[in-house]
């Protein structure tokens, strides 16, 4: 009953996939045309990754079929998907660091002559594959030494080298700088011109509006709709994704700044140059900057996680000498790291263990080295209730929770005792809108209770939506102090790129007071 529609290169029909009885995908259909960029949008857990995994063959759907170039193929394996021209650039990099670029490009597709590897031919082929997307790298370089952006480009080169006419990009810009993102967009639009069909997954609405021809929105494993990207508004997309509108996403409260609780003066280190700023009780202050600008390092240095060779950190007027996490917490500062898995959580433990560990360490649910289990249980229920952790199952392994709920478990460390200063580092990366609103509500609550809140974020919308004041950071320096009317996207972005002339002429950007 499906006619071979003109230009459609791939069609997924009524795909259903269950995990442990829960439907991750529920009868989702999707089609991709030759030479189009088709964005796939949805909150975490909406089913985007399951859908692309089915299309790339790394999971097999329970129901439904995949049709490529008019051939009905049913469920795919990684090998059969690749054979039919599906190339996937996964979020978790699928390159082997110990091998060279050329070896990775040809991995599992090695060229042989007389049974032995034909290294010269592969080297030449790899060079060509890199040149085709305009990447200037020596194919003999070990992949381990490349930047994330370079790795991504190598993956794209590999996928295209294998004659893929369907390219799947899973959040390709998540960790790229702006310049690298521009470069990637150029490459992607170029590929579109050449007739390649591209499935593009991203959380960033601006990217989708800029790149995509069509957008398909998923929510809770179901398809909400496919619309043309031309002229679509953020409001419309957010509404489709979440059923709520954009203003409700950032529930900013009024600032009632009191006495200064955190004062950083002249902080310097390998990545920081003479950083000074202050945050008062009852305000949320943003540290904004591009990825790699040093904004995260500022928070980390205050908490003793980055080396410092000068400057002071004061909490409630008391100098924090030789910052270390233990000393910082004792004096009243708490830092929530950006990398939940590497630094935020004990990934082998349960929700309860993760919630109680900080307070056991702080001595609130332990005494003389003995853990007070009853206090721990009480604390756990308190956190689950206060932060709306779902599901409310303290015994479940932390990895069994969505990213948003893992983030909430991470925030539980603030319950160990009352902290006057809270530093949030990229608190909403990779979590869905529902959990985001819960995190924002918690930040607001802390602020209302008189804490000083620092928000470090690469998400300009978020930092403008939540902060009362913003310090812009570039190359390890605080380059602008924005407040009041100056809080708009133009000023922030201008500070990111450091056109000093512009900031002088506009007259709206203060130079850092210490400069």
Partner 1 sequence: MTSPLDLDERSSKPEDGPVLGKQTDAAASGPSRLVSALLRVGLLPVLLIAGVVIFASIEPRFLTPLNGTNIGRQLSFLLIITMAQMLVLVIAEIDMSVGSTIALTSVVSSTVMVKTGGDGAKPVLFGVLAGLAVGLAIGLINGVIVARFRVPSFIVTIGSGAVAFGLALILSSGSPITGLPKTFTTALGNSSIGTVPLSLVIALVVFGLLYLLLNWTTAGRYFYAVGGGENAARLVGVPVFRSKVLAFVLCSTLTSLAGILLTARVSSGEPNLGGQYVILSIAAAVLGGTSFFGGEGRLSMVAIGALFLVVLSNGMNLIRVSSYTQQVVLGVLLVSAVVIDRLRRRTTR
Q: How far apart are CA 267 and CA 459, in angstroms?
A: 24
Mapped onto helix, strand or coil, the DSSP state of residue 130 is: helix
> In whole angstroms, how far apart are CA 150 and each of 37, 115, 508?
22, 32, 37
DSSP string, 216-229: EEEETTEEEEEEE-
Residue number, 22 or 108, with CB nearest to partner 1: 108
Rule CB under 8 A: is residue 107 a binding residue for partner 1?
A: yes
Rule CB under 8 A: is residue 108 a binding residue for partner 1?
A: yes
What's the min distance (Å) between Cβ of 380 and partner 1? 32
Mapped onto helix, strand or coil, the DSSP state of residue 52 is: helix
Q: What is the torsional sign of CA 191, 192, 196, 200?
A: positive
Residue number, 76 or 275, with CB nearest to partner 1: 76
Residue number, 129 or 447, with CB nearest to partner 1: 129
Residue number, 35 or 78, with CB nearest to partner 1: 78
Residue number, 159 or 412, with CB nearest to partner 1: 159
> Among the candidate windows 89-97, 189-197, 278-286, 370-378, which touches partner 1 by CB under 8 A?
89-97
Size of the site for partner 1 (CB under 8 A): 28
Q: Which of 7, 70, 74, 97 touches partner 1 (CB under 8 A)? A: 97
Contact between residue 227 and residue 214 where contact means Cβ atoms under 8 Å apart? yes
Neighbours of 7 (CB within 10 A): 12
Locate tokens 């290294």: which residue?
119
What's the min distance (Å) between Cβ of 97 and partner 1? 6
Q: Which of 33, 65, 99, 444 touches partner 1 (CB under 8 A)? A: 99
Element (H, E) at 128: helix 119-132
Rule CB under 8 A: is residue 103 a binding residue for partner 1?
A: yes
Q: Which of 29, 60, 96, 367 touches partner 1 (CB under 8 A)? A: 96
Rule CB under 8 A: is residue 79 a binding residue for partner 1?
A: yes
Residue number, 80 or 181, with CB nearest to partner 1: 80
Q: Which of 35, 73, 91, 93 touches partner 1 (CB under 8 A)? A: 93
Q: How far apart are CA 508 and CA 515, in angstroms?
A: 16
Q: Fill in the per-residue mask, 117 to 156: x = in contact with partner 1 (CB under 8 A), - = not in contact.
A: x-x----------------------x-xx-----------
> Among the candidate windows 31-39, 109-117, 392-400, 434-442, which touches partner 1 by CB under 8 A?
109-117
> Among the candidate windows 108-116, 191-199, 304-312, 441-449, which touches partner 1 by CB under 8 A?
108-116
Rule CB under 8 A: is residue 341 a binding residue for partner 1?
A: no
Contact between residue 276 and residue 512 where contact means Cβ atoms under 8 Å apart? yes
Contact between residue 45 and residue 219 where contact means Cβ atoms under 8 Å apart? no
Residues 6+ positions from 216 with CB-CB distance below 8 Å = 30, 38, 39, 40, 41, 223, 225, 226
Dihedral Cα 438, 444, 446, 451, nearest 10 deg:
150
List phi, psi (to 5°) of 347.
-70, -15
Neighbours of 515 (CB within 10 A): 10
> Among the candidate windows 4-12, 23-31, 102-110, 168-176, which touches partner 1 by CB under 8 A?
102-110
Contact between residue 456 and residue 424 where contact means Cβ atoms under 8 Å apart? yes
Rule CB under 8 A: is residue 392 a binding residue for partner 1?
A: no
Residue number, 155 or 438, with CB nearest to partner 1: 155
Rule CB under 8 A: is residue 82 a binding residue for partner 1?
A: yes
Q: b/e for 293-317, b at 16 or more Cβ within 10 A? A: bbbbbbbbbbbbbbebeebebbbbe
List phi, psi (to 5°) of 43.
-70, 170
Rule CB under 8 A: is residue 112 a binding residue for partner 1?
A: yes
Restricted to residues 45-74, the positions that interact with partner 1 (CB under 8 A) are: 58
Rule CB under 8 A: is residue 94 a binding residue for partner 1?
A: yes
Residue number, 126 or 480, with CB nearest to partner 1: 126
DSSP string, 18-85: EETTEEEEEEEEEEEETT-EEEEE--TTSSHHHHHHHHHTSS--SEEEEEETTEE--S--HHHHHHTT
Q: Which of 2, 70, 72, 110 touches partner 1 (CB under 8 A)? A: 110
Q: Which of 52, 95, 272, 435 touches partner 1 (CB under 8 A)? A: 95
Rule CB under 8 A: is residue 90 a binding residue for partner 1?
A: yes
Binding site for partner 1 (CB under 8 A): 58, 78-79, 82, 88, 90, 92-99, 103, 107-110, 112, 115-117, 119, 142, 144-145, 158
């Amino acid at each position: 009953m499906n006619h071979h529609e003109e230009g459609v290169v791939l069609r997924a029909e009524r795909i259903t996939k269950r995990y442990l009885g829960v439907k991750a995908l529920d009868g989702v259909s999707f089609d991709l045309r030759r030479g189009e960029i088709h964005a796939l949008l949805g909150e975490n857990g909406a089913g985007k990754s399951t859908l692309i995994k089915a299309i790339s063959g790394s999971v097999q759907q329970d129901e439904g079929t995949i049709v490529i170039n008019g051939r009905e193929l049913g469920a795919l394996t990684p090998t059969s998907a690749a054979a039919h021209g599906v190339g996937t650039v996964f979020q978790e990099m699928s390159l082997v660091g110990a091998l060279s670029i050329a070896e990775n490009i040809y991995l599992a597709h090695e060229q042989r002559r007389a049974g032995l590897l034909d290294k010269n031919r592969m080297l030449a082929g790899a060079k060509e594959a890199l040149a085709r997307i305009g990447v200037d790298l020596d194919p003999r370089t070990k992949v381990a030494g490349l930047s994330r952006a370079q790795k991504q480009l190598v993956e794209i080169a590999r996928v295209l080298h294998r004659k893929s006419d369907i390219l799947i990009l899973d959040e390709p810009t998540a960790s790229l700088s702006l310049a690298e993102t521009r470069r990637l967009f150029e490459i992607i639009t170029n590929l579109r011109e050449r007739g390649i069909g591209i499935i593009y997954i991203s959380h960033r609405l601006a990217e989708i509006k800029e790149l995509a021809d069509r957008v398909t929105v998923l929510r809770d494993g179901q398809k909400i709709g496919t619309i043309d990207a031309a002229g679509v508004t953020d409001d419309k997309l957010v509404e489709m994704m979440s059923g709520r509108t954009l203003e409700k996403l950032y529930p900013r409260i009024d600032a009632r700044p009191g006495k200064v609780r955190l004062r950083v003066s002249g902080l310097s280190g390998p990545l920081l140059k003479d950083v000074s700023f202050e945050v008062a009780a009852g305000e949320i202050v943003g540290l904004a900057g591009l990825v790699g600008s040093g904004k995260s390092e500022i928070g980390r240095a205050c908490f003793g996680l980055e080396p410092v060779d000068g400057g002071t950190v004061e909490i409630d007027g008391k100098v924090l000498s030789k910052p270390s996490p233990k000393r910082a917490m004792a004096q009243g500062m708490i830092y929530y790291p950006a990398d939940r898995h590497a630094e935020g959580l004990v990934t082998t433990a349960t929700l309860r263990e993760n919630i109680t560990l900080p307070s056991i360490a702080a001595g609130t649910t332990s005494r003389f080295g003995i853990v007070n289990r009853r206090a721990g249980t009480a604390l756990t229920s308190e956190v689950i209730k206060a932060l709306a952790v779902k599901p409310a199952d303290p015994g479940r392994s932390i990895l069994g929770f969505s990213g948003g709920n893992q983030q909430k478990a991470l925030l539980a460390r603030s319950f160990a005792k009352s902290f006057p200063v809270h530093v949030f580092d990229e608190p909403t990366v990779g979590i869905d809108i529902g959990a985001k609103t819960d995190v924002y509500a918690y930040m607001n609550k802390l602020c209302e209770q008189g804490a000083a809140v620092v928000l470090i974020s690469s998400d300009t919308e978020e930092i403008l939506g939540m902060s009362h004041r913003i310090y812009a950071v570039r190359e390890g320096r605080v380059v602008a102090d924005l407040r009041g009317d100056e809080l708009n996207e133009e000023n922030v972005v201008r500070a990111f790129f450091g056109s000093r002339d512009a900031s002088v002429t506009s007259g709206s950007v203060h130079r850092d007071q210490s400069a």
